[in-house]
Structure 1
Amino acid sequence: MSSKRHLRWAAVPVGAATAVALAGCTPQEQHGFLPGFTEDGQPATNHTDMVGALWVNSWIVLLIVGVITWGLMLWAGIAYRRRKGQTGLPVQMRYNMPIEIFYTIVPLILVAGFFTFTARDQEALETQYEDPDVSIIATGKQWAWDFEYLGTEADGSDSVWTMGVQVEADENGNRVESELPTLVLPVNKTVKLQLESRDVIHSFWIIDFLYKKDMYIGHENYWSFTPTREGSYAGKCAELCGEYHSMMLFNVEVVSEAEYEEYLASLEALGQTGPIQDEYDRLQNPPGVGAPAAKEEETH
């Protein structure tokens, strides 16, 4: 039997084994072990699948290029190694136009391809909803978050809000994350976040949503998306913003529409209505000293 026929027969089990291995991948493995997907593959937002696909497909292309490159290097190292009895330098080959054209065109195609798909997905991610179901102002400050849920009035009189403090530590030095600022979102409703900063540059990052955006003082940034799965998610500042940057955390709760409306009503019942005022520009409560409200109670 010829060597070519041997190769053909060898390719059959190799191909079958590869197909079986790929079919057995879990949703997490199929999405490159990225967060934001459950065991059944359900994404956290309407954009999560797209970001995951860009990540995975980019790595597949890079792996193919890497395998070809490593194979050529190995082949050249074996085929052109110095044999016993050989002396001097081997015959040098220069100005091989076909090879030089190949090495120029292929990288250009790769770069153009990566740019095209990245620009396409970025355009979708950066397209803002004109009439979202929910509009929220998320404000970063050293070192916590405020969330203002906008109503329909232009002056913000029917808005409700929560003010957060950065994570505190218990007596054992462990972070008490249950007291973190919480952003509540309704599932399957269009959301538009207006991102602002009160002091320095921050970065708003919900990890499972696979996207983050910077926040600048004096400049408004926006992010539109639709949460597609109820659950709890972790958020944090992704831009070094000062001494307690690592404690600038927040929680995200994606709930049903009824639970969302109930939450807004609870904030209204607490009197947390209208726009957040300028006197709350700075947090002024380093870790270990408690929230501003607690300090005011102690002084009375």
Structure 2
Amino acid sequence: MQQVLSGPCLSAPLFEPYPQKHRVTWPLALPLVVFACFILGQMIAVVPVVELGLIDRDAFEAYPNILYTLAASFTAVLCLVILWVKFFERRSLASIGLSCSKNTPKNLLLGYLTGIGMATLIVGCIYLAGGYQLEDQALTRAMSLLPILLLLLTFSVQSFAEEIIFRGYLFSRFTERYGLWTGVAVNAILFTLIHLPGFDFDSRSLLTLILFAFMTLVFSVYLSLKVIETGSIWFSCAWHAGWNWLFICGFGLPTTGIALDIRPLLVDFGLDTQASDWLTGGIGGPEDSIVTSILLTIVCLVGIYRCLKPTSRAV
């Protein structure tokens, strides 16, 4: 019996192999396809309600309009990507990670809990460092679980759609063509580029831009590594949803620049005006804090080590 050392994360296919009959999207066109789906999907979801006067164009990120914004726009984008996979590439949804196994419920639960846990750790560290203060006036507002639960649902729609598109579709396609680590890198770069338009260049500093871009890169790398480790996209989908949801609904803090006027579930924090933006994240929220970048860098390094670590199997 011989022991062979191999890196399982490097040798295993990402999802399913190519079917016998399919079309291959030209690699350089993959980002264009996704960006076009985002633009067209946003137009499908936003233009009709604006033209009909149902939602003011400046109020899409206010509660309860945000429920429609997240659910409708990201559902439209995801549907367009799925149509491309099914009818142009002639491939199954399993090829972008949309398949279930006995481990799917476990991955979903662990994903939500890990995302919530890491977000809590980040907020706690920033608070202990003097970045946040309690908002006393918020304690007089009535608590309602309905907005909290509805936002959990809609943040899940948004996060699952992003993960299926980036960690399911783009990651798998670039990995199949160029290899695993190229897939991780290109996927992270494209994920960062598509989030840059949401950055407020007019009112924020170069340092916060650097922190935002770096955080988004390592955010994507971490979730790609979890796809490799678990063999599915479900942990990453749930982690992303729990992460986004807890910053706003747990602590009353912005996430990706979105701030909602609801009473949070746990503690209502506000920015300490004396604290630096590099610590608190400023108007971008805790995601843009250096604390977040440090934590995500650490978990990325651990994930890369686990992927590269040889394992022995009998042959």
Q: Which has the higher strand share?
A: 1
- Structure number with larger C-alpha Rg: 1
Q: Which has the higher contact order (CA 8 A, sep 6+)?
A: 2
Q: Which has the higher helix share?
A: 2
With the length of structure 1 as denominator, give the TM-score of the two structures. Answer: 0.23
With the length of structure 2 as denominator, give the TM-score of the two structures. Answer: 0.22
